[in-house]
Amino acid sequence: MTPPFITASALGVPHGFFGRQGGVSTGPMASLQCGFGADDDIEAIRQNRARAAAAILPGAPLSSVRQVHGTRVITVTDSIAEDARPEADALVTDRPGRILGILTADCAPLLFADAKAGVVGAAHAGWKGAFADIAGATVAAMCALGATRAGIVAAIGPCIARGSYEVDAGFYQRFCASDPENDRFFANGTRAGHHQFDLEAFNAARLAAAGISNVICLGRDTYAEAEHYYSYRRATHRGEPDYGRQISLIARPDDPASPGTI
């Protein structure tokens, strides 16, 4: 069974933003749970990841990292083994036959491609990583491999939407102290002293500041769409003991001149 996923066709390379459907995990983790950190059967996780990878580039190895909400970017030359995943929050490659994967559960998955240069990237951008500029770090790493800022297309996949993401005054003040213009990413909250934060728009602004003019926002809310996506915040609000992670994948095509699409 091929699990369902959504795409941003402007990326021009094989890729997909997967949700929670089409896998083999059961119970609270049902069904395409792809995070090794979840309380899920390890063989089910491996099967889920294999299904997702096969849907993007059959037979190609999937490389991922141990995400830590930072700005470290890994340049992938050989595939990264499951038990050798480094701590990082983004991957880039110019090698054909490589799939890059990022896990999320409210944070924003960012997928990047310069199809002409044959360079792709994937980044995990929650508020901490976005604030520290994981987007800019990923773009810089892609350019080091021969991509150009004018040639890079970026897509922001399903993440928690502003209306679902209420934060306290300290959160708001941290962003505005860094740059008063960051006020535009916040709306009044439903409780006094609280605000609603637009993670997708903030990431889009970070990408624009990094010189990326072609940014696609898919506008899907992981918190609100419980049937389709895992959500850390929703699980927390419901008092659930754990939460699943969905995966977003992108692959470097064999021939940069003829990248093809999914």
Query: Where would I find the H helices in the chain?
Result: 42-56, 127-132, 134-144, 169-178, 199-209, 232-237
Q: Which two tokens stand for residue 35?
A: 């995070």
CA dihedral (148, 149, 155, 159) in degrees, to 10, reads: 130
So what's the architecture of 8-161+198-251 in CATH?
Answer: 4-Layer Sandwich (3.60)
Return the residue matching tokens 């997708």. Answer: 200
**pLDDT value of residue 256:** 53
The residue ranges of the chain whose pLDDT is under 50 are: 257-262
What are the boundaries of each domain within the chain?
8-161+198-251
Sheet (strand 153-156) strand order: 73-75, 90-93, 119-125, 108-114, 153-156, 214-217
Return the residue matching tokens 């990022």. Answer: 102
**pLDDT value of residue 1:** 80
**pLDDT value of residue 254:** 75
**pLDDT value of residue 261:** 36
**pLDDT value of residue 255:** 64
| Separation CA 174–CA 243 (nearest Å) | 27
pTM of the model: 0.97
Query: Which among 180, 158, 172 has a CA at the least distance from the CA of 230?
Result: 158
**pLDDT value of residue 253:** 73
